[in-house]
Amino acid sequence: QVQLVESGGGSVQAGGSLRLSCRASGFRYSDYCMGWFRQTPGKEREGVATISTGGSSTYYADSVKGRFTISRDNAMNTLYLQMNSLKPEDTAMYYCAATVWCAATAGLRPADFDYWGLGTQVTVSS
């Protein structure tokens, strides 16, 4: 069955860094575009970054541009999110997701993604 398992979350002070990982199984990972999303209580899930099947195209939310980097390792079926210069407003549950509809990834819309992980919590203190 399809599984996406996130890891790497934790608590960090503002200005610090974290690297999230998402291990995929149960589907042909290299055929899917991937994305990172985040959500805080009472708010809608929002797109953070997406990446094409081969990794050559990436899209970022304006709020994270220049601070976060999405990447993937198709040999290891793993997605990454390097987060630098973290801010308290980055505090959220972070989810990875997969979609075959790669034409939609520029929009960073959760509704365009088919498979989801359970999330990993990131907390940034000031």
Summarize pLDDT for 39-65 with one digit per residue, the tens. 999 999 999 999 999 999 999 999 999
Longest dimension (CA), the chain: 40
Report yes or no: 2 and 27 within 8 Å, Cβ to Cβ. Answer: yes
The position carrying tokens 């899209």 is: 59
Summarize pLDDT for 82-111 with one digit per residue, the tens. 999 999 999 999 999 999 999 888 889 999
As a whole number, mean pLDDT of residues 24-51 equals 97
- Helix (H, G, I), strand (E, B), or coil: what is residue 15? coil
What pLDDT does 105 receive? 87
What pLDDT does 49 receive? 98
pLDDT at 126 over 90: yes
**Mean pLDDT for the chain?**
97
Burial tier of 66 (Cβ tally within 10 Å: 0-12, 13-18, 19+): exposed
